[in-house]
Amino acid sequence: MERIVTVVPEDGLHARPASKFVETANEYDADVQLGRADSDDLAPAASMLAVTGLGVSAGEDVRLVADGDDAEAVLDALEDILSTPEAEH
């Protein structure tokens, strides 16, 4: 299951949004990967190092790929984080 999402938080996938993203990815029973929408390279969403290492900025599109029982739920939760402005975390 996959989804393309535009990153809204001003910090991009750094600092607190990244922290929240990784925390959430780890909460569900699913294997989640992410990468830039225009690239086939994927990194594990459960790894802070991998997520911040992508260096995704606000306004970029990312691809989320999830596999497992909670795939849909985890994608919903992660999409919510990525599409919520800075103020909300």
Partner 1 sequence: MAERTLTGIGVTPLSGVGKVVWYRPDADLPEPPAPEDVDADAELARFDEARSVAEDELQTERARTAERVGEEEAAVFDAHVQFLNDPQITDGVTDAIEGGLPAAHAVQETFTGFVEQFESMGGRMGERADDLRDVRDRLVRVLSDGERVDLSSLPKGSVVVAERLTPSDTAQLDPKRVAGFVTVTGGRTSHAAIFARSLALPAIVGVGEELESVEDGTEVVVDGDAGDLVVDPDDDTKADAAAEAEVHVRSGPVETADGVGIEVAANVGTLADLGPAVDRGGDGIGLFRSEFLFLDRESPPDEDEQFEAYVEALESFEHGRVVVRTLDIGGDKPVPYLDLPEEENPFLGERGIRRSLGPDASLFETQIRALLRAAGSTDGTRLSVMLPLVTTLDELHEARERFESVASDLAEEGLAHEMPEFGIMIETPAAAFMADRFAPHVDFFSIGTNDLAQYVMAAERGNERVSELGDYHQPAVLHAIDATVSATEGHDCWVGMCGEMAGDPDLTELLVGLGLDELSMSAVTVPHVKEAVTETDTAEAEALAAKVLAADTKDEVTNLLTTDQ
Residue 41, judged by CB atoms within 10 A of its CB (0-12, 13-18, 19+), counts as: exposed
C-beta closer to partner 1: residue 2 or 88: 88
Whether 32 and 64 have beta carbons less than 8 Å apart is answered as: yes
- Return the structure tokens found at 87: 């103020």
Minimum CB distance to partner 1, residue 3 (Å): 23
CB 8, min distance to partner 1, A:
12
Q: Which stretch binds partner 1 (CB under 8 A): 1-9, 33-41, 43-51, 68-76?
A: 43-51
Question: Residues near 20 by Cβ (< 8 Å), separated by ≥ 6?
Answer: 81, 89
In the complex, which residues of this chain contact partner 1 (CB under 8 A)? 11-12, 14-16, 18-19, 22-23, 44, 46-50, 52-53, 55, 86-89
